[in-house]
Amino acid sequence: MNIGTAAERSGLPAKTLRYYETIDLVQPLRADNGYRDYSEDDLHCLKFVGRARSLGFSIEECRVLLSLYRDQNRSSGEVKSLALHKVTEIEKKIGQLQDMKKMLSKLAGECHGDNRPDCPILDEIAGEQA
């Protein structure tokens, strides 16, 4: 199938499909006219990658997952370990964001937020109290 159809059916932009080809992630064949010709199997891989990306895996991680997926002899332990590692990464990121949020909420709570120029948020960012 042409790239437009593959894009629609995979839910990914055509630009992304071309990009995935340049980085050797999903390589469609070419038709006689030079158009990319995606097979059902290619489409399957595209969906797989799209889903893994939405779960927070990087392209390089997707490459590993894809090769594990294709390898009938892989051990599920490998995959599980990758998934759990990603979970701890995500937890760490969540923690950082929660810290930011907490501090920002606190600062906003201390700021009267009116037309007066006095602003505890800027003061604290500036570190005048630190």
Partner DNA sequence: ATAAGGCTTCCAGTTAGGGGAAGGTCAAGG
Partner DNA sequence: CCTTGACCTTCCCCTAACTGGAAGCCTTAT
Binding-site ranges for DNA (CB under 7 A): 2-5, 13-16, 18-19, 32-36, 53, 58-60
Sign of the torsion formed by the C-alpha atoms of 57, 61, 67 and 71: negative
Mark residues 50-89: x for contact with its own copies by CB under 8 A, - for none: -xx-xxx--------x--xx-xxxxxxx-xxx-xx-xx--
**Tokens (6 digits) for 32:** 């006689």
Q: How far apart are CA 78 and CA 69, in angstroms?
A: 11
Minimum distance of DNA from residue 86's CB (angstroms): 12
Distance between CA 76 and CA 71 in Å, rounded? 11
Of the candidate residues 22, 24, 33, 116, the single one contacting its own copies (CB under 8 A): 116
H or E element that contains 6: helix 3-10
How many C-beta atoms surround the C-beta of residue 64 within 10 A? 15
Q: Does 112 bind its own copies (CB under 8 A)?
A: yes
Binding interface with its own copies (CB under 8 A): 44, 47-48, 51-52, 54-56, 65, 68-69, 71-77, 79-81, 83-84, 86-87, 90-91, 93-94, 97-98, 100-101, 103-105, 107-108, 111-122, 125-127
